[in-house]
Structure 1
Amino acid sequence: MLHIYKNCFRAMTSQSVSGKTTLSSRLAKQIKVTKTKATTAKQELWDIEDLHSVAATTAPRYFSPVQTRKQRQVNTLPKSNLPAKKARQDEVSKTSKIKIGTATIIKCELVPPNETMLELKVEEAAAVKTEQDFPNANWLQHLENIRLMRCEKPAPVDTLGCHQCADQNANEKTQRFHKLVALMLSSQTKDETTFEAMKRLKAQTLTPASIQGMPAVELERLLHPVSFYKNKAKYLKQTSQILVDKYNEDIPDNIQELLKLPGVGPKMAHICMATAWNKITGIGVDTHVHRIANRLAWLKKSTKEPEQTRVQLESWLPRPLWSEVNHLLVGFGQTICTPVRPNCSECLNRHICPASASVLAKKK
């Protein structure tokens, strides 16, 4: 019986008519099986798997159009009884806490581009890419070593960063505003200076309405000695006005609207989304991240501006790592990979860092 089926299949493939019609009709003809009638009950139909038992009986058999039994059972089920499709579970990083030095850092939700979830884990993403896709083949070892060094050596950003500047007793909306203000003050300013300025502002009740109603001279006095404190006072006044008028004294919950606020650039906006809304929309690249990425050759070509560095890093760094890379590299840059006279002798990456050889040679 098997050879009959094979012969029919060969004949079917040589003709241009429908495969199912040709094969079913030839089978019926060669083994003298009555063709399916419209009135035949579904439970009386036989499937192709039942061919081997046809010879055992002379009773008429009605064959369904050639398909497997499993296919026919599914195809003839009412829609209400069809097997439900498994709900797709997007692998979004759940909010969790991780310890770095003496600080507890929030690991945030990932917000993918174009609303398409990236389901690759770090290991899977690294496996998909070839070595040619990464600017430096040692990048993952670099990162692991930086994690180890950061755990052993606390940095100012751990206790004085913008995520630590919000009043923990305030409501969530006010805390989000505090984090935004701290970021606006942090540009080209040490964490210690920003933290002290935030303490003075919070002592005056820091809200968009209070900033809006505060005299510019008084605001400048509270911000000093923050770098460019007069410009930053002006930006704070303008931003506070917008938040009162458009956002009910809250801050925007998306990167596009944050970037429209006076004095808010890409670095601030991406870090604000992470710290205030627990959503990762991009990598916040400040002077430390910019410098270290160039020193470690994490870029396909060297960059002069932080924004250029951000674009290159996001083009290859696995997205699940975006939530931690800013905090890791900022603290690393504050303690070991400093702007001037970096402590390469203390660095676990000194043997695999492109910049360490020249630095160590100068110290000899």
Structure 2
Amino acid sequence: MRTSRISRDTSKIISSLAASRTARPLRQRRAAVNGATRDSALNDVEANDVAKPGKRESDGVVRHRDGDSDSAPTSVPESDGNEEVVSKKRKREQHAPVTTRVKRETEETSITTIASREKAQSKPKKARRVPAKKIVGSDGSVKVEPPPNWEEIYALTREMRNENVAPVDTMGCASLADRSKSPRDQRFQTLVSLMLSSQTKDTVTSVAIKGMQEKMPGGFNLESVLALEPPALNAFINKVGFHNLKTKYIKASAEILRDKWNADIPDTIAGLTSLPGVGPKMAYLCMSAAWGRDEGIGVDVHVHRITNLWGWNKTKQPEETRAALESWLPKEKWHDINNLLVGHGQTICLPLGRKCGECKLADRGMCPSAVVSKSTKVKKEEAVVKVEGWNEDVVLRESVAVVTGNDIKAEDGEGAILDIEDIGKAPRRRPR
């Protein structure tokens, strides 16, 4: 009997459906053998599906929230009932090993990092400005209470001074006199050294004095200065500040010493300040260095500036600073404090650009005027990781800031040159 084409096609479809029904129980039986493993895996898939709904597993099977699974897509035919369906996506997983390339890019920048802020917070807080106080007793007596911790500040500063040799230690006016000469000539050389030191660095003053000691006809003494003509004397000191005016003052002072003081320098503060060009600072320093008597504190720009930075006093003029210090500082320190603070001002607490990062007082939070910038130089490294896979290249970027060092910047509002002019002129200021 002849069958039609429609009948033949219907038979093929029926036989195909029957084959698929016979293969499915085998797949279910294999899954049933490892039921515990399947349930655990399905629970993990469910957790991932909740976080990322609609995600397909790499085996091509869509997992539903109720734990059931559908068979692989019918578009992929099975070879027979004993072989598993291998999806195209599973084949894609068998790609070549992933390779990575790392590219480092560095650049310099200046930023404030959390590390620097934490370091700054770990340091002790800066001290408050607490100057000396006057206390009036019930009987009307006045007593001055010293600033707190002044002894510790003084001791730490002396410790720093012992560790750092300053120009004042080797070229200060108190050490320039020729010790091979008579005491009278040594005192005269000390007086002239102090007169030349005004508005002049110790290095320049030292060279001028050495030149006079070595080259002045008849040696460096009162009689030789009196014998020199002003232009010749000016030639010896032409490197110091205000040398023309100082030549006149030295010549005039030499004549006064010859006529009124028996060719020697005065041994009183009033007598010294009566000489042209000699102010209180020079007089007190000269009394200490030449005569060995401490009758007051020689306050130059370093003593005036640093004691105000420490908050020991709040003064505007050197004479005010001298009176404030002498009211409470023990007399045995009157001679030492000038050398102490001048050297400290020449090495660490500079008039311009204080080195607060090297100061022990700033490190311990004892200086209320310490200035240390919080900017930190950081090397910024950018790691560029390129992952080459089977389907696309994934580029990951990560920036890492690496601290390379601290840029400690010291600032100072003081613009005066290293010494105060004692000849009636205001201190010069550097251009900003």
TM-score bin (small chain): 0.5 to 0.7
Aligned length: 233
Deviations 1:66-104 (A, max 9, x none): xxxxxxxxxxxxxxxxxxxxxxxxxxxxxxxxxxxxxxx
The equivalent of 1:313 in structure 2 is 325
- Residue 158 of structure 2: which of 147, 151, 155 is its match? 147
Is 1:207–1:249's contact at 8 Å kept on the other side of the alignment?
Answer: no
Q: What is the CA–CA distance in structure 1 between the aligned matches of 2:295 and 2:348, rounded to whole Å?
A: 28
Q: Within 2, Cα distance between the matches of 1:237 and 1:151?
A: 38
What aligned pairs does 1:251-262 form with structure 2 within 5 A after superposition? 251-262=265-276
Which of 200, 207, 218 aligns to 1:189? It is 200
Contact 2:144 2:327 (8 Å CA) reproduced: no
Is residue 257 of structure 2 the alignment partner of residue 243 of structure 1? Answer: yes
Tell me the equivalent position of 2:347: 335
C-alpha deviation, 1:177, in angstroms: 0.4
Structure 2 counterpart of 1:162, from 173, 193, 197: 173
Letter in 1 for 2:358: E
What aligned pairs does 1:39-50 form with structure 2 within 5 A after superposition?
A: none
In structure 2, the residue corresponding to 1:303 is in which secondary structure? coil
Shift of 1:281: 0.6
Cα distance in 1 for residues equivalent to 2:144 and 2:175 = 36
Aligned to 1:138: 149
Structure 2 alignment gaps of length 5 or more: 1-134, 138-142, 376-407, 410-432
1:349 aligned to which of 361, 384, 388: 361
Deviation of 1:360 (Å): 4.4
Deviations 1:200-234 (A, max 9, x none): 21121221221122111111111011000011111
1:69-108 superposed matches below 5 A: none
Cα distance in structure 2, aligned partners of 1:160 and 1:129: 44
Larger CA deviation: 185-194 vs 246-255: 246-255
SS in structure 1 at match of 2:323: helix
Residues 220 and 233, structure 1, Cα contact 8 Å, conserved in 2: yes
- What SS does the corresponding residue of 2:360 show, helix, strand or coil? coil
Give the conservation status (yes or no) of the 8 Å contact 1:135–1:297. no
Counterpart-to-counterpart distance in 2, 1:240 and 1:199: 19
Q: Give the letter for the 2:328 counterpart.
A: W
Residues 28-67 of structure 1 deviation map (CA, whole Å, 9 limit, x = unaligned): xxxxxxxxxxxxxxxxxxxxxxxxxxxxxxxxxxxxxxxx
Partner of 2:220 in structure 1? 206
Larger Cα Rg: Structure 1 or Structure 2?
A: 2
- 2-side partners of 1:345 and 1:245: how far apart? 53
Show structure 1 runs of 4+ deviating over 4 A.
359-364
Deviations 1:110-158 (A, max 9, x none): xxxxxxxxxxxxxxxxxx999x944631211110001101111110000
* Separation in 2, partners of 1:133, 1:228: 39
1:335/1:234 CA distance change after superposition, 3 Å: same
**Quick one: which of 232, 239, 245 aligns to 1:225?**
239
Higher RCO by CA contacts (8 Å cutoff, separation 6 or greater): 2
Query: Secondary structure, in 3 states, of the residue corresponding to 1:280?
Result: coil
More helix by share: 1
Q: d(CA) in 1 for partners of 2:244 and 2:263?
A: 23
- TM-score using structure 2 length: 0.52
Structure-2 residue corresponding to 1:178: 189
Identity of aligned residues (%): 46
Q: Determine the C-alpha separation between the residues in 2 that align with 1:321 and 1:270.
A: 13
Task: Establish whether residue 234 from structure 1 lines up as the match of residue 245 from structure 2.
Answer: no
Letter of the structure 2 residue corresponding to residue 268 of structure 1: M
Q: Is 1:323 paired with 2:335?
A: yes
Q: Which structure shows the bigger proportion of residues in strand conformation?
A: 2
Query: TM-score, normalised on structure 1?
Result: 0.61
**AA aligned opposite 1:138:** N
